[in-house]
């Protein structure tokens, strides 16, 4: 079984279902954001006690390693391609599209996933079946998880979670999306760190719309700018939302232009054209450069090295790497200037 860095039950005494901890969680997901995905509960019909299934008498003394590792094993299966509507809907919510295999792995490798209730339920549509002590244990376990992993953001599944999770003196707020309503946010303070929690409809809900919830995720995580991938081998630093301009010449399949850390060496920079294949995946032909795109890349490059704004409307998509880019450009300025001068001479 896959090894994770979850703490032992000895040091997280109230936790029955060990959380899934992605191997890249400490590096963060989108632009370094550490995200905890909070589910509601596990469902179980196993018979581990006399007289029938564990629930409603599900208790820690009836559990074994299969129980303790249920969350970890579930997400490992999802990551490897097991298609469950709940998780497929959530993946689409996060990316705003149907993700490919690499994107799914990127998502689950970058988050912690944890179910709030620490005692199994008999099914998804029934009323929650725990008693007061079980809720108290689950609250204490949740606090252990937050204190251990200290996420930057929590995305919580379901309005029932909004009702049963503790408030701990937190702060309530709303995220509003024009023509799309509003969503609840509750901000905890754990070990002096503010941790906002966005409550979305449960992805298993029959009327769930991942396209409707994606804008809330973007706004909550501060991803309102260009929706360019930051998790692939090329790491964009400066980028252009390029599709409309590309469409003016009858194309439109090039979505972005970017300059960032290169695919082959993250200590160097490269330019990239982002093309989307009909399947929705990123095209392997993304580096094939038609002439008008080559010129627009030249505009983006010159605007970047001269620290000026161009008609392309470029934006900085990774502020933490902006100084890295500027320093590298400054170091290699003698390499670039003769080429720029030659362009100027040719255009006279």
185 CA to centre of own chain: 17
Q: Does residue 12 lie within any of the structural domains? A: no
Residues 150, 283, single domain; the answer is no
Residues 282, 329, single domain; the answer is yes
- For residue 157, the model assigns a pLDDT of 96
Give me the mean pLDDT over the 244-256 stretch: 80
- For residue 113, the model assigns a pLDDT of 97
Residues 194, 298, single domain; the answer is no
State residue 66 phi and psi, 5-degree precision: -60, -40
Residues 110, 253, single domain; the answer is no
At 166-206, the pLDDT tens digits run: 999 999 999 999 888 999 999 999 999 999 999 999 999 88
Residues 106, 201, single domain; the answer is yes
Give the CATH number, domain containing residue 214.
3.40.470
- For residue 188, the model assigns a pLDDT of 96
d(CA 29, CA 90): 15
* Under 8 Å between Cβ of 243 and 254: yes
Q: Does residue 9 lie within any of the structural domains? A: no
Full domain range(s) for residue 63: 20-220
Residues 53, 180, single domain; the answer is yes
Nearest to 89 by CA among 252, 243, 272, 213: 213
Per-residue confidence band for 48, with pLDDT thresholds at 50, 70 and 90: low
Residues 193, 240, single domain; the answer is no
Residues 70, 204, single domain; the answer is yes
d(CA 317, CA 304): 13
Q: Does residue 88 lie within any of the structural domains? A: yes
Enumerate residues 6+ apart whose C-beta is below 8 A from 228.
Answer: 236, 239, 255, 256, 258, 274, 317
Q: Does residue 195 lie within any of the structural domains? A: yes
Q: Does residue 228 lie within any of the structural domains? A: no
Residues 140, 168, single domain; the answer is yes
Enumerate residues 6+ apart whose C-beta is below 8 A from 198.
Answer: 153, 154, 155, 156, 175, 183, 184, 185, 216, 217, 220
Q: Does residue 230 lie within any of the structural domains? A: no
Residue after which a domain boundary falls, among 220, 255, 280: 220
Task: Name the domain count of the chain.
Answer: 2
Residues 240, 181, single domain; the answer is no
Strand partners, 236: 260
At 62-96, the pLDDT tens digits run: 777 778 888 999 999 999 888 889 999 999 999 99
Residues 93, 167, single domain; the answer is yes
Q: Does residue 43 lie within any of the structural domains? A: yes
Q: Does residue 2 lie within any of the structural domains? A: no
Strand partners, 334: none
Residues 251, 133, single domain; the answer is no
């Amino acid at each position: 079984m896959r090894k994770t860095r979850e703490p032992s039950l000895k040091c997280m005494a109230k936790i029955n279902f060990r959380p899934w901890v992605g191997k890249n969680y400490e590096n963060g997901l989108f632009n370094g954001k550490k995200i905890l995905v909070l589910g509601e509960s596990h469902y179980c019909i196993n018979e581990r006690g006399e007289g029938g299934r564990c629930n409603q008498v599900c208790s820690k003394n009836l559990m074994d390693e299969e129980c303790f590792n249920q969350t970890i094993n579930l997400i490992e299966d999802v990551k490897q391609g097991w298609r469950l509507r709940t998780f497929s809907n959530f993946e689409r919510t996060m990316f705003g599209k149907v993700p490919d295999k690499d994107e799914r792995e990127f998502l689950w490798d970058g988050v912690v996933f944890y179910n709030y209730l620490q005692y199994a339920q008999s099914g998804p549509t029934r009323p929650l079946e725990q008693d007061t002590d079980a809720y108290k244990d689950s609250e204490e376990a949740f606090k252990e998880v937050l204190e251990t992993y200290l996420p930057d953001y929590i995305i919580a599944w379901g309005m029932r979670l909004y009702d049963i999770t503790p408030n701990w003196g937190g702060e309530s707020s709303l995220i509003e999306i024009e023509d799309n309503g509003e969503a609840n946010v509750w901000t905890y303070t754990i070990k002096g760190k503010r941790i906002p929690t966005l409550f979305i409809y449960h992805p298993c809900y029959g009327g769930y719309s991942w396209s409707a919830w994606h804008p809330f995720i973007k706004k909550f995580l501060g991803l309102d700018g260009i929706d360019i991938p930051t998790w692939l081998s090329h790491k964009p630093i400066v980028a252009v939302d390029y599709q409309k301009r590309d469409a003016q010449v009858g194309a439109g399949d090039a979505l972005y232009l970017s300059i960032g850390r290169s695919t082959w060496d993250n200590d160097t920079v490269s330019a990239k054209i982002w093309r989307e294949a009909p399947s929705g995946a990123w095209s392997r032909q993304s580096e094939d450069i038609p002439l008008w795109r080559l010129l627009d890349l030249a505009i983006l490059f010159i605007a970047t090295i001269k620290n000026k704004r161009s008609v392309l409307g470029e934006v900085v998509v990774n502020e933490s790497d902006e100084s890295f880019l500027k320093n590298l450009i400054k170091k290699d300025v003698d390499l670039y200037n003769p080429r720029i001068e030659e362009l100027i001479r040719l255009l006279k």
